[in-house]
Amino acid sequence: MFEQVMFWLFGAGAVVTAGMVVAPPFNRNPVHAALALIASFFCMAGLYMLLLAHLLAVLQILVYAGAIMVLFLFVIMLLNLGDHELGKQSSSVGQMIGLVAMAFVTSKLVVTLATSADSLPHGADPAAPEALVRDGFGTVATVGDAMFRHYLVPFELTAILLLIAVIGAVVLAKRNL
Amino acid sequence: MSAALHPASAPALAQALSTPHSLPHTAADLVAQPWLASLLGVGAIMAFLTLNVLFLIWAERKVSAWIQRRMGPTEVGPYGLFQTLADMLKLISKQLITPSHVDRPLYLLAPLVVFAPVVVAVSLFPFAPGLAVTDVDLGLLLVFAFAGLGIIGIFMAGWGSNNKYALLGAMRSVAQNVSYEIPLILSALAVVLLASHPEGVTLEAGTPSAHTVPLLGTSLAHITLAQEAQGYWFVLVQPVAFVIYFVAALAETNRAPFDIPEAESELVAGFHTEYSGMRFAMFFFAEYTNMLVVSMVATVLFLGGWDGPLLPGPVWFFLKTYTLLFGMIWVRWTWPRLRFDQLMRLCWGLLVPVAILNLLGAAVLAEVL
């Protein structure tokens, strides 16, 4: 019961705030859009929490809401763009492509959700999610174990990729060091 | 005792988290109704925070007075103790003025967004074995996550006020907070490495109730237990991390010598220039609570939390916390303010590289110890 209420609260919150990021009356102001995105990340963290992925939920707040979005806001604040610099609404062709893409993703989502009930383990009770996952699921120890043992190579490769991106950004910004 | 980075066995950890003596219980265990328990917990935290802010503001004024050879507040109550209470009554009775060209939703929400996360952060601390409002294995991460959110509120206040001083203050504050969060977390990470003992340590060795529990470095209670079990506080093995943490914490809380976001001689009052009455008081409340949070984190990470001889746990915990807070006040009234470029150079040129090297050293140390 409690989970149900929280799910609808966070789910509705995530959808509404995500809509506020892109929907017309709000998206004219980049600061409002960025703050709506932060609120959306919060609701997503709540959903992760309901899925017992506690570490992921905390990292969502720490990294996305607390660090990356703050940088977004900082850049918006530095640029301080007015309506004329932001340009007019994108062309109708672009909107059409966007609509088609959204319809495609939505249909995929509906099909996946409709068939997902069958993919639960046999005899599992969806009302008791703790029973569906392994012991210690979502804790720091389990996630760390998975990341640094089973997926060590992809993890290290990602680190190298990020390092390349950082060096690239520095080189682009500081042409004449 | 060896090695922090050995693979953890998840079931063992999960079991340890539910073993009676290994961890402090939460306040929820004391009361039958979970809703009542959380309500009581939040009420207790709010009452404590209010008292703390009243006391800290008084202490700030008294300490600054001593340092400048003045008397400080003397009139209201013994030693002027109730001066802050009188000031608060004044702020409550003041008119709330909303300037005409503000971005209303941002302007009105900002004090709340600054205020709420720090209250959440305080509720995560273990004040004694068995005394914590909420005790989770991710305590340290959660504290940093919520303590870092206040900056969004500062941005909202600065941007929403539609005032150039407020905007400049918010810009400085965001740049400073984003930069100093890096050495802050890197220095805390060094302690997390030392505090992790997946294969377990023996608690209360030599007593009949001695038992072995695996420890996880991200739990605030476990960090304290690790220091209790090893018999020394982490400040002794990580003095560099402690200094880096303290300097970065001063910057994170916008305290002098890093108070350029609200440098009154150039920016009026920085990001809260356009706020009056209780809205201004909420920023003040958040600032002093933030000082408390960073000091409590330092107490847990470096000074052994509730660990100490003779006196009961909470007494030690708050003794250490308020000693650190005294240090923060002392620094504010004896150091001149840094210039912005000096501030950035200190962070990126000195604190970050030293913190990274220190983390490397801590990893080696964790293998050796």
Q: Which residues of B touch A82 (CB under 8 A)?
A: none
For the purposes of burial, counting CB atoms within 10 Å of the CB of B175, is it exposed (0-12), middle (13-18) or buried (19 or more)?
buried
Q: What pLDDT is attached to residue B23? A: 44
SS3 B247: helix
Tally of domains in chain B: 1
Cα–Cα dist B262/B165, whole Å: 9
Closest to A38 (Cβ–Cβ): which among B141, B152, B216?
B152
Domain housing B311 = 12-368
B149 contacts A66? CB cut-off 8 A: yes
B203 DSSP β-pair partners: B211
CB pairs under 8 A between A and B: 90
Q: Residue B73 in 3-state DSSP?
A: coil
Check residue B7 and give its pLDDT: 34
Contact B24, B221 (CB under 8 A): yes
Contact B177 A141 (CB under 8 A): no
Q: B206-260, pLDDT tens digit by residue? A: 566 666 766 777 778 778 878 877 778 888 888 899 999 999 999 888 887 887 7
Q: How far apart are CA B141 and CA B147, in angstroms?
A: 10
Q: Do the chains contact at B174 and A70, CB–CB below 8 Å? A: yes
* Confidence (pLDDT) at B131: 61
A2-81+126-175: CATH class: mainly alpha
d(CA A93, CA A109): 24
Whether B110 and B116 have beta carbons less than 8 Å apart is answered as: no
pLDDT digits (tens, 9 = 90+) for B35-92: 677 777 778 888 888 888 888 988 888 898 888 888 888 888 788 888 888 888 888 8
* DSSP element (H, E) containing B213: strand B211-215
The secondary structure of B82-141 as a DSSP string is THHHHHHHHHHHS-----TTS-HHHHHHHHHHHHHHHHHHHTT-EEETTEESS--TTHHH
Taking the Cβ of residue A136 and every Cβ of chain B, the question of whether any pair is shorter than 8 Å is answered with yes
Q: Tell me which H or E stretch contains B270.
A: none
Tokens of B124: 């995560």
What is the 3-state composition of chain A as percent helix, strand, coil, each rounded to the nearest 5? Answer: 80, 0, 20
How is B285-342 classified by DSSP, letter by letter? HHHHHHHHHHHHHHHHHHS-TT--SSS-HHHHHHHHHHHHHHHHHHHHTTSPPPPHHH
Q: Using a CB-CB distance cutoff of 8 angstroms, which residues of chain B are in contact with residue A65?
A: 145, 149, 152
Which residue from B138, B175, B198 is facing A74, i.e. has the nearest CB? B175
Give Cβ neighbours of residue A68 (< 8 Å, ≥ 6 apart). Answer: none
- ipTM of model: 0.75
Helix/strand/coil for A142? helix
Q: Which of A69, A140, A145 is closest, CB to CB, to B138?
A: A140
Q: Which of A78-92, B265-279, B284-298 has the lowest mean pLDDT?
A: A78-92
Residues of B in contact with A71 (CB under 8 A): 178
**In 3D, which of B352, B162, B124, B161 has the Cα closest to residue B251?**
B352
Peptide bond into B11 cis (omega under 30): no
B110 within domain boundaries: yes
DSSP for residue B275: -
Cα A17 to Cα A40: distance, rounded to the nearest angstrom: 5
Place of tokens 């030693």: B79
Distance separating alpha carbons of residues B161 and B146, to the nearest angstrom:
24
Model confidence at A29: pLDDT above 90: no
| Residue A19 neighbours by CB under 8 Å, 6+ apart | none
| Interfacial residues of B (vs A; Cβ cutoff 8 Å) | 7-11, 13-14, 103, 105-106, 136-138, 141-142, 144-146, 148-149, 151-152, 155-156, 159, 167, 170-171, 174-175, 177-178, 181, 198, 216, 218
Q: Which of A40-44, B87-91, B207-211, B271-275 has the highest mean pLDDT?
A: A40-44
Tokens at residue B283, please?
């920023």
Beta strand B131-132 with B126-128 is antiparallel
Please report whether residue B68 resides in a domain. Answer: yes
pLDDT top residue among A43 and A118: A43
Which of these, B157, B154, B111, B119, lies nearest to B282 by C-alpha position?
Answer: B111
Phi-psi region of A47 (alpha: psi -120 to 50; beta: other; left: phi over 0): alpha
Compare CB distances from A54 to B138, B146, B198 and report the shortest one's residue: B138
Q: How far apart are CA B43 and CA B29, in angstroms?
A: 17
- pLDDT on residue B21: 40
Q: What percent of chain A has pLDDT over 70?
A: 78
- Of the candidates A49, A44, A51, the one whose C-alpha atom is nearest the C-alpha of residue A10 is A44
Q: How far is CA B75 from the centre of its chain?
A: 32
Q: Kindly state the average pLDDT of the residues A27-33.
A: 76
Residue B72 C-alpha, separation from nearest chain A C-alpha, in angstroms: 38
Task: Report d(CA B129, CA B221) in Å as an integer.
Answer: 8
**Confidence at residue A53, expressed as pLDDT on a 0 to 100 scale:** 82
Instruction: For B214, name the nearest residue in chain A, comparing CA atoms only.
Output: A141
Amino acid at A99: L
Fill in the amino acid letter for A15. V
pLDDT for position B246: 92
pTM: 0.81
Decide: B286 and B114 in contact? Cβ < 8 Å. yes
Q: Provide the H-helix boundaries in A51-139.
A: 54-59, 69-79, 83-86, 92-116
Q: Which residues pair with B356 in a beta bridge?
A: none
In angstroms, how far apart are the furthest CA atoms of chain B? 69
Q: Does A61 touch chain B (CB under 8 A)?
A: yes
**A106-117 as b/e, with b when 16 or more CB fall inside 10 Å?**
eeeeeeeeeeee
CB atoms within 10 A of CB A134: 10
Rounded CA gap, B28 and B38, in Å?
Answer: 7
- Contact (Cβ atoms closer than 8 angstroms) between residue B194 and residue B366: yes
CA dist B161 and B272 (Å) reads: 8
**What's the alpha-carbon Rg for chain B, to the nearest Å?**
21
Band (A149; pLDDT cuts 50, 70, 90) = confident
CA distance A91 to A20: 20
Using DSSP, state whether B307 is helix, strand or coil: coil
CA dist B124 → B33, B133, B146, B168, B296 (Å): 20, 6, 10, 33, 10
Candidates B105, B151, B159; nearest CB to A77? B159
